[in-house]
Amino acid sequence: MHEAAQGPEAPTSPVIPQQRGVRDAARGEVLIRHARLANSGRPVFCTPSRAELAGTVPLRQSRGTNGKVIYGTREDAEAAARELEALGANRLRAYRCSRSRSGHFHLTTDNTPSSALPLHLRIPQQRLSA
């Protein structure tokens, strides 16, 4: 009776969902190249300050921004965004974190209508005055 439960239809391991073709190792390499790193070599994540957690000062950002990877410059964040998009991520854009005194950057999904346009059409053009 016990052997019948071990038939070919019995799952032997949990099913792991597909991740849209994005490999975690490849994403990790992108972060190592572009993110701000701790002494341990791991990326640094944005967290609320002690004063924000204690409630003595208002939260500078919503809770949805906690835990995002910190990029030191906009150029680093944009380079990481392009590489992550090449690995299958949604379109990303860099923004300056309002929590940071020194001005670090994060990535967020770019949902603007112009985000689907090629890069050369997304760059603002200088208007010539007549």
Q: What is the pLDDT of residues 19-73, one digit of tens each?
A: 444 457 888 889 889 999 999 888 888 887 788 778 887 776 655 556 788 999 9
- In the chain, what is the straight-line distance between the N-terminal and C-terminal CA atoms, in Å? 89
Residue 55 lies in a domain: yes
pLDDT(18) > 50 = no
Q: Which domain holds residue 51?
A: 22-110
Q: Is residue 125 part of a domain?
A: no
Instruction: Answer whether residue 76 shows pLDDT above 50.
Output: yes
Dihedral angle of Cα 81, 75, 107, 82, to the nearest 10 degrees: -10
Q: How many domains does the chain have?
A: 1
What confidence score (pLDDT) does residue 79 get? 94
pLDDT at 5 over 70: no
> The tokens of 50 are what?
């002690």
User: What is the rounded distance in angstroms from the CA atom of residue 30 to the CA atom of residue 24?
Assistant: 10
Higher pLDDT, 66 or 7: 66
Phi, psi values for residue 106, rounded to 5°: -130, 170
Q: What is the per-residue pLDDT across 78-92, written as a single tens digit (0 to 9) for each?
A: 999 999 988 888 889
- 41: tokens are 């070599």
Q: Per the domain annotation, does 3 fall within a domain?
A: no
Inside any domain, residue 28: yes
| pLDDT at residue 68 in the model | 85
Would you say residue 36 lies in a domain? yes
Asked, for residue 119, whether it belongs to a domain, the answer is: no
Please check whether residue 16 lies inside any domain of the structure: no
pLDDT one-digit tens code per residue, 103-116: 899 998 887 766 66
Is 17 domain-assigned?
Answer: no
The answer to whether the CB of 71 falls within 8 A of the CB of 104 is: yes
